[in-house]
Amino acid sequence: MKNFVFSLLVLTSFCCCKNNHSPFDKNIKNINKQINSLKTVNDKKHFLNELYLSSQGKVEEIDSLEKNIFKNHTEVYKLRHELDSMRAYNAYKSEKYLDLYPYPTDTITYTKNEFYALYFALLHSSRVNSLLKGLPYIKKQYEDGGLSGKYFLKYLNLIYYLDKTQFYQFNKKHALDQLIQDILPEIEEIKKNKNIKIQLLII
């Protein structure tokens, strides 16, 4: 009898583990389908705008409500929870988008929010591998003048912090562009150690 009960428990545990897929795993297929279906410029614009609203848009809304935190604390808590729950999804969406399509650099076609959507979604993910996968695209936007040095340095500094669990010790006498050149070798070393290889897609 004891053997039977033990076997039943093991079988039950196995079945539970087998079917214990996370909500993230269950939604991967839907996310892939969504991004694969972005056939037109308007499709991409809509996707990028929604991505911005669910990442940086939430941050901006929280910042605004926090100006009167005593009145808005419940809403702030709710929005922070929504933002946290979307971090992994938004990072994956950004990575998948960049696997298939070039960074939206055309300022005539794409709005400012659509241009920054991928940047902020990756930044707010707080995932080193996601940030490293997006790095070649973010770096190119900086080199081409589309992304400010301030934003690029913030991106690099976050990679360093998440990997080393400490902030990079910058030389305060250096100008912004030099600060970027100071930290870049460290970031490339982190990327090398994690064996992140990205084929930059440019059209």
Local confidence pLDDT in tens for the 203 residues of the chain: 544 333 433 334 434 444 445 556 678 889 999 999 999 999 999 999 999 999 999 988 889 988 898 888 899 899 889 888 888 899 999 999 999 999 998 888 999 999 999 999 999 988 899 999 999 999 999 999 999 999 999 999 999 999 999 999 999 999 999 999 999 999 999 998 887 666 555 54
Instruction: Report if pTM > 0.95.
Output: no
Contact 135, 123 (CB under 8 A): no
The residues spanned by each domain of the chain are 26-193
Nearest to 91 by CA among 7, 147, 24: 24
Cα–Cα distances in angstroms (integers) from residue 118 to residues 14, 17, 122, 200, in the given order: 39, 34, 6, 15
Nearest to 123 by CA among 110, 133, 114: 133
